[in-house]
Amino acid sequence: MMRHRYKIAVRRSQRGVTLVVGMIMLVLITLLVLASFHLGRNNLAIVGNAQQRNEALAAAQQTIEAAVDSPLLTSSPGSIFPTPCSGWPANTLCYDVNADGTNDVVVQITPAPTCVKAQVIPLTSPIPLPTYCRGGVNQSCFGQGGGAGCNDSSCANSLWDIRAVAQNLAPNGTSAASRGPVAVVNQGIAKVVGTSEIATACP
């Protein structure tokens, strides 16, 4: 009889323990779900930032290529693009990277590109010269043979330093966003220029 009563008492006490263990397991599972949620959200933010940075780098590189292709690079390095980004100073371009009709990234070439050095290309250069480089030879060289400056073409190889800074646009479109990645691309490029431009573009 005593044993029977003891078993009943043990079973009743175990029912209380089961409830406590169940509550602890429920709390642990809740904490695990919350931790997984925060981890997933952080990973999503990291991926989004990496994507924005890649888009900014691509826009900066595209702007440098546009500057190299512009004829104003050597003649007017402070104002390379005829139509800069609206509301921004010269040497800026805006890009709509997600094709929603609104500009998302602004790229500014700052400071203005500078010519590091220039060297006149000789007419005897093994590299084929454009036709316009062979014209304009000094008339005093006719019949002089290879006198000083008489073997020079009217073009020069120039080396330029260009720096592009890309950042996200704020919703108003006329200022940079307070948050987001900033991509900076420094690049040296070579460009053939006329010798008449050396004095002004490459002093």
For the chain, what is the HEC assignment? CHHHHHHHHHHHHHHHHHHHHHHHHHHHHHHHHHHHHHHHHHHHHHHHHHHHHHHHHHHHHHHHHHHHHCCHHHHCCCCCCCCCCCCCCCCEEEECCCCCCCCCEEEEECCCCEEEEEEEEECCCCCCCCHHHHCCCCHHHCCCCCCCCCCEEEEEEEEEEEEEEEEEECCCCCCECCCCCEEEEEEEEEEEEEHHHHHHHCC
- In which domain, by residue range, is 202 found? 1-203
Across the range 166-179, mean pLDDT stands at 79
Across the range 141-162, mean pLDDT stands at 71
Q: Are 177 and 166 in contact (CB under 8 A)?
A: no
Total domain count, the chain:
1
Rounded CA gap, 15 and 130, in Å?
Answer: 95
Distance, CA of 171 to chain centre: 20
pLDDT confidence of 121, banded at 50, 70, 90?
confident
Q: What is the pTM of this model?
A: 0.68
In this predicted structure, which of 62-76, 89-103, 107-121, 139-153 has the lowest mean pLDDT?
A: 139-153
Task: Please name which of 99, 112, 95, 115 lies closest in space to residue 169, comparing C-alpha atoms.
Answer: 95
73 C-beta neighbours (distance < 10 Å), count: 23
